Amino acid sequence: MHIESTGSGPPLVLLHGWALHGGVFAPLVARLSDRYTLHLVDLPGHGYSRDASTPLTLDATAADILSRTPPAPWLAWSLGGLFALQAARMSPQVRGLVMVAATPRFVRADDWSHAVDPAVFLQFGDDLRDDYAGTLERFLALDTIGSEHARSELRTLKDTLYARGEPAPHALQDGLRLLEESDQRAALPSLSIPSLWLAGRRDRLVPAAAMREAASLAPEGRFIEIAGGGHAPFLGHADIVAAEVERFMQLPRVASR
C-alpha cells in the first residue's frame, strides 16, 4: 500500500474517499505540512496502491495502515471514515479522529433517516460496469453539488481523479459494497478518543444531521457545520477545515497520548 509522508512535526494520517487518492488532500498539505508530518494513504486499489495486495476490507486495510504509520490522530474523508473508525476500534495507536463528511452508516435505515437510499450504491455499481468513466464523473459531481464553490471543486476533483492512474474496478465495487453494508454506530459510545465531525451544510451524500447525531453518540465527539460546504469541504473551504484540524491537534488528549 502506498503511503506518502510529507512535512515535519507531530504525525497525522489522512484517508481519502471513494475513487480518489491521497493527492486529493493537496489544499490541506499546503496549510498543515509546515507544522505536521502528514501520512497520505492511497487505499488499496486506488492511486499508487492500485495493485496493492491488501484487500479493501475494513479489518485488512485498517490493520495494514496501522502497521505502516506511527501512533497519530487520523483524518478521514467519506469512505475513509469507515477505515478510520475500524482502526480506532482495533488499536490505541489512533489518538483521535477527524471525520470529514464521514459517517458510521452511509445508507438509510428505519432508525437512521439522514442518509442516502441503499439503491444509490447499487445503481452506481451497475453503472460502473456499463460506463466506467461516465459513472466516476457523475459521482464527482455529487461530491460537489450544493457547495458554494461547486465549480472549482469539481474541476479540482476531475484533475485529481486520474493523476495517479485509474482506480481498479474491483476496488470501486468493493468500496461501494462497504458504503452500502457498513454500520459502525454501535462502536461510537465506547470510542475512548476525541473525535471531530466536520460536515458541509449543503452535503448531498452525507447530511450534516447524520454527522451531528454521530458526534452525539461519541463521548468526546464535537460537531462543526461548515455553512457553504458540500461533500468535500477541504477543497472549497480549506482554510476553515485546516483551522479546525489545527485546533483539534492541540487538544491535550490528542497531543499528549
Per the annotation, the verdict on 203 as an active-site residue is yes
Q: Which of 2, 49, 203, 237 is catalytic?
A: 203
- Which secondary structure element, helix H or strand E, spans residue 77, and what is its range? strand 72-77
Active site residue 239: no
Q: Is 146 left (phi over 0), alpha (psi -120 to 50) or beta?
A: left
Tell me whether strands 3-7 and 37-41 are parallel, antiparallel or unpaired: antiparallel
Residue type, 98: V
Whole-Å CA distances, 220 to 88, 99, 103, 195, 256: 13, 13, 16, 6, 16
Chain-centroid distance of CA 213 in Å reads: 17
Rounded to whole angstroms, how far apart are CA atoms 51 and 66? 19
Whether 231 sits among the annotated catalytic residues: the reply is: yes
Please say whether the beta carbons of 98 and 248 come within 8 A: yes
- Identify any residues that bridge with 220 across adjacent strands, giving them in sequence order: none
Catalytic residue among 21, 46, 64, 78: 78
- Catalogue the active-site residues: 78, 203, 231
